[in-house]
Amino acid sequence: MLKVSAITGASALFLPSGILTHGQSPNEKISVAFIGLGAQGKFQLDNIAEKTDLVNVVALCDVDDVRAGKAYERFPNAQKFYDFRLMFDKLEKSIDAVTVSTPDHTHYHPVIRAIRAGKHVYCEKPLAHSVAEIRMITEEAERMKVATQLGCQRHAIKNMARVVELIKSGAIGDVTEVYSWIGGDRGMPDKPDGIGEPPETLQWDVWLGPCPTDWKFATTKGKSAFVPYNWRFWWDFGTGETGNWSCHILDLPYWALDLKYPVNVSASGPEADAERTPKSMAIVYDFPMRGKLPPLKLFWSHTTKPACFEKYKITMPAKNKENQNVNPNNLFVGSKGMLLTGFDRHVLLPESDFADFVYPEKTIPDSPGFHREWLNACKGQKPATCHFAYSGPMAETAILGNTAFKAGHKTFEWDAEKMIAQNCPEVQAALKPEFRKGWEY
């Protein structure tokens, strides 16, 4: 197991924020426990456990024997658990780091327990289920100086860094508006029409975890209403398309424009359903000046047609100079032009103004691999690029928008330091989650 070394004296002043230093040999392996082994959990397992020069898989934890079965076959020597609490009770001293890839409502408890035990954490987005949970995780990670990474793996795509270099170089001037969106209309699933018995291979009560609603194993048209995926579109378990995608898409404006917390939030869209996430929604965030950067208005939307296309006469599908589709999800509006970008490609607009544009020098180094960044940080190297001090405020902003929408399309000033939604008791009351008995933490 990696050992934490004592840090004293002047040397501590030069440690990068957000990492834990170790007294181990550089060749010593990291003992990792994986919590959640389904779709994204398998993705973490594939990308972390394959680093056999760095990692020992010491524990596998999942509530579903079927979803976890192949992982159990791959790592027969790892100890297996249904409940992460029992895993920590038994193996805490043997674990150096954990990954958490469970439904949103069960992020907070394993993450905060791991951090307070001094374990490094890789967690899937949107970090947690509520604003207060995310803030607690962010602050505790900083206090404990553990290595962290939020699952915004698109951060490592080269185009993302190139866009950031363009914005920071002033290619389109001062940016005062950003439009960010996820397309489609997923949400508002059919309501359950029956109650069934959970399969013997699924630990239903553990899956519910801290959820305060006593949901039975609900079914819709004879199939599970929530597992393995549709939980995402129920407020008790998920955070909808905004929670699902915003940490990937807002990563670009957060990175390029040094964003942290908004000072004003305004939500709109169809009438909010008390149980299910919407098919569409819109949030407007106002950010203050950041150093010399001007105030910014950021428009987030879950929609089939972003308003910025018509407003700025953008023809779709947008293509770059190589005649490749941009597949955009962000539009930066600056004083000298606009930048339309997706994860993989971008285009400067209007194209005629940038016909002879000379790109700035590359300044952001290539990632060694998104998961490798975290493992390197666990070994005492520089923080991973989406460590919680950076990604926590971004996730919190996204969930704050959800909270404003669900509370009834609220508009309010946000005091981020005190976590107060000014003159908006409905949002204030919803910042902190309720946990069912036995899960208070």
Q: How far is CA 37 from CA 69, 246, 365, in A?
A: 9, 23, 31
Closest CA to 28 of 55, 5, 9, 50: 55
Cis peptide before 228 (omega within 30 of 0): yes
Domains 9-154+369-387 and 157-186+241-365+398-421 share a fold: no
Q: Show Cβ contacts of residue 87 under 8 Å, excluding neighbours closer than 6 positions.
A: 33, 35, 59, 61, 79, 81
- What secondary structure does DSSP assign to 302-342, as a single string? ESSS-HHHHHTT--SS-B-TTS-B----EEEEETTEEEEE-
Per-residue pLDDT tens digits for 386-414? 999 999 999 999 999 999 999 999 999 99
- Joined together, the tokens standing for residue 37 give 């082994």
Per-residue pLDDT tens digits for 118-166? 999 999 999 999 999 999 999 999 999 999 999 999 999 999 999 999 9
- What secondary structure does DSSP assign to 249-280, as a single string? HTHHHHHHHT----SEEEEESSPPPSSB--S-
Domain ranges of the chain: 9-154+369-387, 157-186+241-365+398-421, 194-238
Mean of the pLDDT values across residues 258-264?
Answer: 98
Per-residue pLDDT tens digits for 85-101? 999 999 999 999 999 99
Q: Check residue 3 and give its pLDDT.
A: 32
- Joined together, the tokens standing for residue 199 give 């399969």
Closest CA to 318 of 305, 306, 327: 327
Give the span between the Cα atoms of 36 and 64, in whole angstroms.
9
Give the span between the Cα atoms of 271 and 219, in whole angstroms.
25
Count of CB atoms situated within 10 Å of the CB of 114: 29
The answer to whether 253 and 298 are in contact (CB under 8 A) is yes
Q: Check residue 140 and give its pLDDT.
A: 98
The answer to whether 373 and 384 are in contact (CB under 8 A) is yes
Q: Which CATH architecture has domain 9-154+369-387?
A: 3-Layer(aba) Sandwich (3.40)
The answer to whether 34 and 44 are in contact (CB under 8 A) is yes
Please report, rounded to a whole number, the percentage of residues in the chain having pLDDT higher than 70. Answer: 94
Closest CA to 252 of 391, 59, 98, 85: 391
Q: Show Cβ contacts of residue 385 under 8 Å, excluding neighbours closer than 6 positions.
A: 149, 155, 156, 367, 370, 373
Q: Where is average pLDDT lowest: 9-13, 175-179, 209-213, 330-334?
A: 9-13
CATH code for the part of the protein at 157-186+241-365+398-421: 3.30.360
Distance of CA 221 to the CA centre of its chain: 32
Q: Show Cβ contacts of residue 90 under 8 Å, excluding neighbours closer than 6 positions.
A: 79, 81
Q: Check residue 50 and give its pLDDT.
A: 86
Mean of the pLDDT values across residues 214-225?
Answer: 96
Of the pLDDT bands very low, low, confident and very high (cuts 50, 70, 90), residue 440 is: confident
Q: Where is average pLDDT lowest: 5-19, 21-35, 183-197, 304-318?
A: 5-19
- What secondary structure does DSSP assign to 404-439, as a single string? HHHTTS-EEEEETTTTEETT-HHHHHHSS----TT-
The answer to whether 167 and 38 are in contact (CB under 8 A) is no
Per-residue pLDDT tens digits for 21-53? 333 445 689 999 999 999 999 999 999 998 888
Per-residue pLDDT tens digits for 354-369? 999 999 999 999 999 9
Of the pLDDT bands very low, low, confident and very high (cuts 50, 70, 90), residue 326 is: very high
Buried b (16+ CB within 10 A) or exposed e, 80-89: bbbbbbebbe
Q: Check residue 17 and give its pLDDT.
A: 31
Q: Check residue 26 and give its pLDDT.
A: 57
Mean pLDDT of the chain: 93
pTM for this model (two decimals): 0.93
Give the span between the Cα atoms of 106 and 376, in whole angstroms.
26
